[in-house]
């Protein structure tokens, strides 16, 4: 083979060997990061990787002239810089709370559980009769701030005569964070009971949405807390316990997940440190309480754009190109680690069906036509809670049923308020318990 061919082949071979060495060192770093659970912001895994890489480079160059001994260190240098970027924070490591909202004041209440939560109050307005029983709103997340879109819907309910209270669950929004080990679905339920007790207005009506609906469902199964609930609206619930979480998942009508334009704005997952941390946490390879990225830093880093298709999945496919902006960058807050921790405690929990079957609190279930939640999560609540008096299957909306599009807010408010006032429902009671098999077979 002529030298003109051999030299390029050797160059390509050396380049491939260098790339393989870099990839191998990065893989070693990731493996050590997982093994150490990210201890020391990843520097322990990084230091071990660098030491191993240097010894390997020295061994490879041991029989070469001094200039040749430097060649094996080039991939080491590249891998060292790449992996070091995973260890260095690019946002503050102390919690930065969202700035104040211009239209409502956030108060901070210390609950008997020890949680310090941000509370929002919308007194009744408008010309409608004042409702004597306060209405408490539990937002989704699980550990997420209340979006501006949700605040607008709460203002609508207040305009219909309701005394509306909402609080961001511990660690979410403007509420204080907890030590990671204290986040659990049980703590969330106890916080709800403590909040209603501190409200000091007797029994309350509660509207729970998404993961907030899970907290509400489990509260209905806790006799001591359920005694303080007058009526409950369970809107688009997630899985209520471990057995429900493990059921086969069947979705509703098509959502906009795969057809909506990509969300714009900065993404933490474009930064190696947070892409690695959030990715490994989501895969279960790093614990929520890992040493790579602390809770406060992770909260500061996570942006609305990081939710990507999760936001689009909350809307019908027909709305893919008119999905509203749910929140502002200044108000947005989401704790991925704390949310994963709570979701894991739900998956690990035993069935609550025996306790839920003893529930006597009048309840209503709301289901969206284009729901991204598993139908079995919703129908299990319906099947196991004998106190559910009506179900409202909401046509033309996705998981986020009140979203400012068309008359969606008006229709959602009508379904909620008529139930709370024990008036005829605006929609048929569907599906009923007897309808569940046909409802699932029909992929409604």
Cβ proximity of 425 and 417 under 8 Å:
no
Give the span between the Cα atoms of 124 and 148, in whole angstroms.
19
Number of Cβ within a 10 Å radius of residue 391? 26
Cβ proximity of 431 and 382 under 8 Å:
yes
| DSSP collapsed to 3 states, 322-364 | CCCCCCCCCCCCECHHHHHHHHHHHHCCCCCHHHHCCCCCCEE
Give the span between the Cα atoms of 300 and 169, in whole angstroms.
17
Lay out the sheet containing 135-138: strands in order across. 107-110, 116-122, 164-168, 135-138, 204-209, 229-235, 363-370, 388-398
Q: What is the CA radius of gyration of the chain?
A: 26
**Sign (positive/negative) of CA torsion 257, 306, 272, 284?**
negative
Query: Cis ω on the peptide bond leading into residue 53 (within 30° of 0)?
Result: no
Tokens encoding 442: 């029909």
pTM check: above 0.85: yes
Distance between first and last Cα of the chain = 68
CB proximity list for 14: less than 8 A, separation 6 or greater: none
**Sign (positive/negative) of CA torsion 391, 193, 107, 299?**
negative
β 164-168/116-122 pair status: antiparallel
CB proximity list for 35: less than 8 A, separation 6 or greater: 45
Give the span between the Cα atoms of 403 and 401, in whole angstroms.
6
For each of the chain's 444 residues, which pLDDT tens digit applies?
Answer: 566 555 665 566 667 777 888 899 999 999 999 999 999 999 999 999 999 988 887 887 666 666 656 777 788 899 999 999 999 999 999 999 999 999 999 999 999 999 999 999 999 998 888 999 999 999 999 999 999 999 999 999 999 999 999 999 999 999 999 999 999 999 999 999 999 999 999 999 999 999 999 999 999 999 999 999 999 999 999 999 999 999 988 888 999 998 998 888 888 888 999 999 999 999 999 999 999 999 999 999 999 999 878 899 999 999 999 999 999 999 999 999 999 999 999 999 999 999 999 999 999 999 999 999 999 999 999 999 999 999 999 999 999 999 999 999 999 999 999 999 999 999 999 999 999 999 999 888
The predicted structure's pLDDT at residue 6 = 57
The predicted structure's pLDDT at residue 64 = 66
Place of tokens 């057995």: 243
Give the span between the Cα atoms of 361 and 206, in whole angstroms.
11
Give the span between the Cα atoms of 440 and 444, in whole angstroms.
7
Taking alpha carbons only, the member of 21, 19, 20, 47 closest to residue 33 is 47
Per DSSP, the residues of 252-292 read: -S-BSTTTSPPPPS--GGGSHHHHHHHHHHHTTSS-TT-SS
Cβ proximity of 249 and 374 under 8 Å:
yes
């Amino acid at each position: 083979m002529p030298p003109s061919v051999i030299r390029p082949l050797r160059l390509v071979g050396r380049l491939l060997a260098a790339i393989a060495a870099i990839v191998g060192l990065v893989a070693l770093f990731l493996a050590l990061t997982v093994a150490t659970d990210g201890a020391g912001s990843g520097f322990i895994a990084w230091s071990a990787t660098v030491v191993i890489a240097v010894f390997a480079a020295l061994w490879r160059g041991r029989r070469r002239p001094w200039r040749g001994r430097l060649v094996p260190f080039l991939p080491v240098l590249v891998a060292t810089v790449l992996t070091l970027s995973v260890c260095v924070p690019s946002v503050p490591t102390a919690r930065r709370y969202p700035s104040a909202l211009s239209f409502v004041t956030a108060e901070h209440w210390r609950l008997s559980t020890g949680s310090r939560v941000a509370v929002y109050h919308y007194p009744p307005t408008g010309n409608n009769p004042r409702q004597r029983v306060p209405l408490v709103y539990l937002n989704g997340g699980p550990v997420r701030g209340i979006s501006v879109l949700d605040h607008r819907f709460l203002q609508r309910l207040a305009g219909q005569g309701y005394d509306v209270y909402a609080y961001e669950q511990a660690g979410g929004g403007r509420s204080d964070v907890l030590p990671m080990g204290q986040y659990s679905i049980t703590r969330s339920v106890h916080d709800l009971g403590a909040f209603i007790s501190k409200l000091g207005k007797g029994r309350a009506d509660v509207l729970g949405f998404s993961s907030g609906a899970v907290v509400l469902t489990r509260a209905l199964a806790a006799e001591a807390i359920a005694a303080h609930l007058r009526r409950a609206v369970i809107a688009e619930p997630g899985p209520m316990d471990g057995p429900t979480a493990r059921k086969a998942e069947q979705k509703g009508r098509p959502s906009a997940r795969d057809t909506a334009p990509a969300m714009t704005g900065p993404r933490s997952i474009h930064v190696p440190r947070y892409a690695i941390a959030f990715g490994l946490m989501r895969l279960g390879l790093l614990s929520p309480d890992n040493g790579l990225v602390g809770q406060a830093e992770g909260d500061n880093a996570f942006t609305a754009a990081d939710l990507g298709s999760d936001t689009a999945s909350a809307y019908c496919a027909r709305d893919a190109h008119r999905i509203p902006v749910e929140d502002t960058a200044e108000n947005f807050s989401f704790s991925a680690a704390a949310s994963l921790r709570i979701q894991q405690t739900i998956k690990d929990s035993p069935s609550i069906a025996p306790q839920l079957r003893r529930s006597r609190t009048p309840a209503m279930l709301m289901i969206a036509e284009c729901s991204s939640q598993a139908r079995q999560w919703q129908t299990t609540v319906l099947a196991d809670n004998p106190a559910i008096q009506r179900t409202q299957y909401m046509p033309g909306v996705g998981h986020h049923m009140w979203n400012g599009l068309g008359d969606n807010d008006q229709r959602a408010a009508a379904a909620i308020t008529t139930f709370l006032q024990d008036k005829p429902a605006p929609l048929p009671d569907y599906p009923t318990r007897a309808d569940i098999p046909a409802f699932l077979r029909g992929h409604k």
